[in-house]
Amino acid sequence: MPNKTGKVLLIDDNDIDLKINSKVIKLSDFFEEIILCQSGEEGISYISKNLDNPDLLPDFILLDIQMPEMDGFEFLEIYKNFPKTFLDNCKLAILSSTLDFGDIKKAEANPLVIKLLKKPLYPNELQELLNKHSTLLGI
Amino acid sequence: MNNPTVRVLYIDDEENNLQAFKASFRRMYEIYTAISAAEGLKILENIDIHVILADQKMPNMTGVEFFKSIVETHPDPVRILLTGYTDIEALADAINHGDIYRYITKPWNDLELHNSIKNAYDAYKAKIDLRNKITELEKTNDELNRFIYSISHELRAPLVSVIGIINLVKMEGLYDSSGEYWGLIETCSNKLDYYIQKTLQYYKNTKDIPDHSEVDFHKLVNELIELHAYSDKDTAFNVSINQNVKFVGDAFRIEVILSNLISNAIKYQKSNEQNKTVNIEIDVNDFEASVSINDNGLGILKEHLEKIFTQFFKSKMHHGSGLGLFIVKEALNKINGTINVSSNIEDGTTFKITIPNAK
């Protein structure tokens, strides 16, 4: 079980889902801090402005796919250009309700995505994933 | 009868022929004439011509050469070649490269030529109509795809939020706080989600052309067991997969097939059975994958065995949707697979399927 020292960044345009998922994470006590962003753009700008402030950067990101303007895949296109030092220390999983085979394949093929989690978010699924990557997460 | 305006372009280097043609046909068609291929092209570029008649023997550019030169730029007008002598080579060339509809010898017979032009126009119209229909169909198809796609997201996303909230209620220990209401909401939500998923599976199966990708049965079966055993930890799985060769097939449909069968095997258990067991055996060779999925569950009544693959067949005792096995069968049909079932109330059910290896 990971110690709760890390930060998780949730990116989802749906505020109800943001609320639900942050509550699930809070109740499961996996992370010390939960950062909420309501769009891909907001996520990108949060990371960019804190690149010099590693203390504020997330260790783990849960990214939605279907979002207006910048969707999850567009987010990843920009995200992959962040410095390697950051990318190496932060893991990213997709959290989506998609049933679209194309989306699923595309997500699984992306080297930056460690897993595609399906909504609703179950604590034990998340825990399993975090355990698997705990060494990578450094938490 | 209201005749449509048929626009005919006639190219001939002999002015007399052009005049004769005009005299004979000007009441029937809208006629354009040109004294050379170059001039004909000019008309073609400015006017929407339906039928082109060209004389074969012209200086600078022959009729066939002219037709060849416009194959790419003006594919729609229907072409008729006129020639004063029977030149087999020119004729073969015209058919092979000029996309010629008719070949008429000079001097022409008015009635024959009239009929040919009429038929040519019909061919033109059929071609254009068909193209319009195809465009229309593509558009409808595209809209349907987008509709289905948005249903899958817009309709399902809030439902999944509801299921997420029920989860939270459980985590906070409030599930039993309102009598059985939370449980009822959960049952309904799961049912709705199930129907949305099955409808999408069915739709995707009828629409998508079979795809060929590599299938790793070890990985697939383990993922599916993980997915479906989630709700029921009592069932023991005995999995034996023998795959030493590459298997290529339709990954989506194979997943749908195995997913439905595995989920059924878990779902329809005897509630008083102590050792709920599901046995999955898969044998892959160069020609096919043979899959056997066996359970010691409720079994299927003999009189029902014939009907289980029909749409919306449900037995009274079990709360199925009547879609799962129907989709399995439809998906197998699409990829030339087979399915057999044997079952009885005492021992449970065994499904055997084969899926051809397309490698």
Contact residues, chain B, for A123 at CB < 8 Å: 171
Size of interface A-B (CB pairs under 8 A): 51
Q: Tell me if A20 and B165 make a contact (CB, 8 A cut-off).
A: yes
pLDDT at B258: 94
pLDDT at B317: 66
Q: Tell me if A21 and B164 make a contact (CB, 8 A cut-off).
A: yes
A120 CA to chain B: closest CA distance, Å?
5
Q: Tell me if B157 and A24 make a contact (CB, 8 A cut-off).
A: no
Q: CB of B321 within 8 A of CB of B280?
A: no
Q: Tell me if A97 and B167 make a contact (CB, 8 A cut-off).
A: no
pLDDT category at A1 given cuts 50, 70, 90 is very low
Tokens of B122: 């019909």
What's the fold here for domain A7-137? Rossmann fold (3.40.50)
Question: Which candidate, B313, B315, B333, B338, places its Cα nearest to that of B324?
Answer: B313
Give the Cα separation of B251 and B256 in Å (integer): 9
User: Strand B51-55's sheet: what is its strand order?
Assistant: B30-34, B7-11, B51-55, B78-83, B100-105
Q: CB of A57 within 8 A of CB of A91?
A: no
* Between residues A9 and B231, the one the model is more confident about: A9
Question: In angstroms, how far is CA B335 from the centroid of its own chain?
Answer: 13
pLDDT at B2: 55
User: Based on C-alpha coordinates, what's the Rg of chain B?
Assistant: 34
User: Based on C-alpha coordinates, what's the Rg of chain A?
Assistant: 14
pLDDT at B86: 66
Backbone torsion region of residue B60, taken as left when φ is above 0, otherwise alpha when ψ lies between -120 and 50, otherwise beta? left
Q: Which residue in this structure is represented by tokens 């092979």?
A: B96
On whether any CB of chain A is under 8 Å from the CB of B334, the answer is no
Q: Which domains does chain B have, with CATH numbers?
A: 7-108 (3.40.50.2300), 209-356 (3.30.565.10)
A94 CA to chain B: closest CA distance, Å?
15
Query: Could you read off the pLDDT of A42-51 as tens digits, one per residue?
Result: 999 999 999 9
Helices marked H in B151-209: 156-171, 181-207
Task: Report the b/e string of B233-261 with b at 16+ CB within 10 A.
Answer: eebebeeebebeeebebbbbbbbbbbbbb
Contact residues, chain B, for A120 at CB < 8 Å: 160-161, 163-164, 167
On whether any CB of chain A is under 8 Å from the CB of B38, the answer is no
Between the alpha carbon of residue B25 and those of residues A35, A94, B6, B105, the distances in Å are: 81, 71, 11, 17
On whether any CB of chain A is under 8 Å from the CB of B167, the answer is yes
pLDDT at A139: 46
Complex ipTM more than 0.95, yes or no: no
Question: Which candidate, B348, B358, B308, places its Cα nearest to that of B328?
Answer: B308
Q: Which residue of B has its CA nearest to A65?
A: B153
Give the Cα separation of A52 and A85 in Å (integer): 11
Q: Of all residues in chain B, what percent are helix, strand and coil, respectively (each to 5)?
A: 50, 20, 30
B165 CA to chain A: closest CA distance, Å?
6
Query: Could you read off the pLDDT of A63-88 as tens digits, one per residue?
Result: 999 898 899 999 999 999 999 999 98
Tokens of B242: 């023998």
Tokens of B76: 């729609």
Angle (CA) B144-B147-B151 rounded to 5° is: 140
The whole-chain average pLDDT of chain A stands at 89
pLDDT at B20: 93
**Backbone dihedral angles phi then psi of residue A9, each to the nearest 5 degrees:** -110, 120
The whole-chain average pLDDT of chain B stands at 88
Q: Of all residues in chain A, what percent are helix, strand and coil, respectively (each to 5)?
A: 45, 20, 35
| Low-confidence stretches of chain B (pLDDT beneath 50) | 1
Question: Which candidate, B121, B111, B5, places its Cα nearest to that of B53?
Answer: B121
Lowest model confidence (mean pLDDT) among A14-18, A31-35, A46-50, B308-312: B308-312
Name every residue whose Cβ is closer than 8 Å to that of residue A14 and which is 6 or more positions away in sequence: A64, B157, B161
Give the Cα separation of B33 and B17 in Å (integer): 10
* Identity of the amino acid at B188: C
pLDDT at B346: 83
pLDDT at B316: 67
